[in-house]
Amino acid sequence: MNILILGAGQVGASLAEALVSEANDITLIDMNPEPLGQLADRLDVRTVVGNAAFPSVLRDAGIESADLLVAVTQSDQSNLVACKVAHSQFGVPTRIARLRSPDFLDPVLLSTDNFAVDFALCPEQEISDYIAKLIEYPEALQVVEFADGRVTMVGVRAYDGGLLVGKPIRAMREHLPAGVDARIAAIFRDTRAIDPDGDTVIRAGDEVFLLAASDHIRTVLKELRRMQKPVRRLMIAGAGNVGSRVARRLENSYEVKVVESRAQRASLVAGWLDHAVVLAGEATDETLLQREDIAGMDMFLALTNDDENNIMAASLAKRLGCRRVLALINREAYADMVQGGPIDIGLSPAQVSIGSLLTHVRQADVARVHSLRRGAAEALELVVRGDRRSSRVVGRRIDELPEIRGASIAAVVRAGLVIIPHHDTMIEAGDHVVVFCTRKRHIAAVEKLFRPVNSLFSFA
């Protein structure tokens, strides 16, 4: 596929990195040559310096032969204009835009007759939804859903004394109540992926991805984690676009305090919120945090636009007694470095957003994609199409499918029923199949396996 990515920021760079190894031709456009040069040095991509909304720049980038345009620059206006130009002047089949302002998220405005955006991504909304899930599961490092919320996958850290720690995975079934089934989709040990089977022994400190029907996931979590008290009180550092949206999302269900360093912004956001308390001050001010009872907070969310400030504020909140802290961190190297230390969760906005983008880019019939472990792994929800003659998977047992190292079928959803599959589970047309990939270079092989083929060929 020939893909144009407009904007070489965190989202554009993460998307290019995710797609470049999958036989795609990627061209990146940005006005700043520095990030383009850095990406060209480590990825097999073409780069063009210029304004991505200009037809002449798009033409130089080869838009005439593009199959997909993804506009993720920092400017909503540039992204909209680029999609309009790509549709009306160059006939690009699919156009995706990142839009921060809710004013632009109007179906009529985005329709083919106007800005011609096929899919609009709002990063702040994605992050807000994601954080809400993490608060719902305070034990989790990552929470993602599939099949319209019927299936939940949770990443947790196994702890000393957990029921399964020191035991083989097959022992999990002995502890689960009748009618409750689950799958350990992957284990990461010292940053290395382990393909689990029934004999794999879980160790304390392992990062374990559990998958189950959403109604059963809390029961399953008890096997690996001490269940923490539900979150009631939380503090948010930063009242910018992300912080204010998260506060608005949570204020009716939790006791929320927001700390904002800019007095004028604090006053403005206070007028938008109904129940949350907004404080003008620095989140790195020890006196302020103690005065506002940081030790009594269940969770602290550092959501400013400054990575270093978020790291410092979250670390301070943890030292002062806050039970769990999260820091929004744009730089991937920082997120890898701090998580697991004083900071419980280092959250990359780009990795939260990229799943939605990949859902619309993957070449198989993909209903949902989630980027996991800051891009190191991926989980896909694929819709099975065709029949036994036109499909490589329909009418076949899982143990009859070709083995793809690093990829495993973790769940099957059939007519609303969640099935935790075993080797003899048969795949049927219409199934939604959740596949966990610990090795991203094999995603193209997974997509190919699930894509319908020419019905003239038989796979009997």
CA–CA distance, 378 with 441 (Å, rounded to integer):
10
Who has greater pLDDT, 33 or 337?
33
Give percent above pLDDT 70 in the chain.
Answer: 95
Tens of pLDDT, residues 140-199: 889 999 999 999 999 988 887 777 788 899 888 887 888 899 999 989 988 788 888 889
CB 104 within 8 A of CB 120: yes
Paired residues of 234 in beta bridges: 256, 299
CA–CA distance, 420 with 181 (Å, rounded to integer):
6
Enumerate residues 6+ apart whose C-beta is below 8 A from 282.
Answer: 259, 261, 288
pLDDT for the residue numbered 22: 67
Paired residues of 372 in beta bridges: 377
Enumerate residues 6+ apart whose C-beta is below 8 A from 155.
Answer: 140, 141, 142, 143, 207, 208, 209, 210, 372, 373
CA 58 to chain centre: 29
pLDDT for the residue numbered 220: 85
Paired residues of 301 in beta bridges: 236, 326
CA–CA distance, 343 with 324 (Å, rounded to integer):
8
pLDDT for the residue numbered 457: 38
- Pick from 71, 61, 74, 50: which is nearest to 26 by CA? 61
pLDDT for the residue numbered 163: 75
Burial of 105 (0-12, 13-18, 19+ CB in 10 A): middle
pLDDT for the residue numbered 335: 66
CA–CA distance, 381 with 315 (Å, rounded to integer):
36
Paired residues of 94 in beta bridges: 68
Could you count the other beta carbons within 10 Å of the beta carbon of residue 391? 21
Task: Find the farthest-apart pair of alpha carbons in the chain and give their distance in angstroms, rounded.
Answer: 73
Per-residue confidence at 351, pLDDT binned at 50, 70, 90?
Answer: confident
Over residues 240-253, mean pLDDT: 95
Tens of pLDDT, residues 323-343: 999 999 988 767 667 766 789
pLDDT for the residue numbered 102: 84
pLDDT for the residue numbered 134: 94
pLDDT for the residue numbered 339: 64
Mean pLDDT of the chain: 90
pLDDT for the residue numbered 321: 97
Over residues 106-119, mean pLDDT: 96
Per-residue confidence at 7, pLDDT binned at 50, 70, 90?
Answer: very high
CB 349 within 8 A of CB 334: no
- Pick from 127, 106, 132: which is nearest to 117 by CA? 106
CA–CA distance, 81 with 270 (Å, rounded to integer):
34
Phi, psi (rounded to 5 degrees) for 3: -120, 130
Task: Count Cβ neighbours within 10 Å for each residue of 156-184 and write b for 16 or more, e otherwise.
Answer: bbbeeebebbeeebeebeeebeeebbbbb
Per-residue confidence at 25, pLDDT binned at 50, 70, 90?
Answer: very high
Residue 459 has pLDDT above 60, yes or no: no
Over residues 205-211, mean pLDDT: 91
**DSSP secondary structure letters along 62-104:** TGGG-SEEEE--S-HHHHHHHHHHHHHTT--SEEEEE---GGG
CA–CA distance, 181 with 197 (Å, rounded to integer):
15
Domains and CATH numbers, the chain: 2-121 (3.40.50.720), 233-347 (3.40.50.720), 354-450 (3.30.70.1450)
Look up tokens 């690009």; give the residue.
Answer: 92
CA–CA distance, 39 with 274 (Å, rounded to integer):
44
**Residue 338 to residues 107, 128, 208, 280: CA-CA distances in angstroms?**
40, 21, 19, 27
Q: Which of 129-138, 336-345, 349-358, 393-402 is predicted least confidently?
A: 336-345
Over residues 235-246, mean pLDDT: 95
Token representation of residue 272: 């938008």
Amino acid at residue number 423: H
CA–CA distance, 118 with 309 (Å, rounded to integer):
36
Per-residue confidence at 454, pLDDT binned at 50, 70, 90?
Answer: low
CA–CA distance, 1 with 321 (Å, rounded to integer):
51
CB 335 within 8 A of CB 314: no
CB 413 within 8 A of CB 431: yes
pLDDT for the residue numbered 364: 63
CB 388 within 8 A of CB 395: yes
Over residues 238-262, mean pLDDT: 96
pLDDT for the residue numbered 456: 38
Over residues 340-348, mean pLDDT: 85
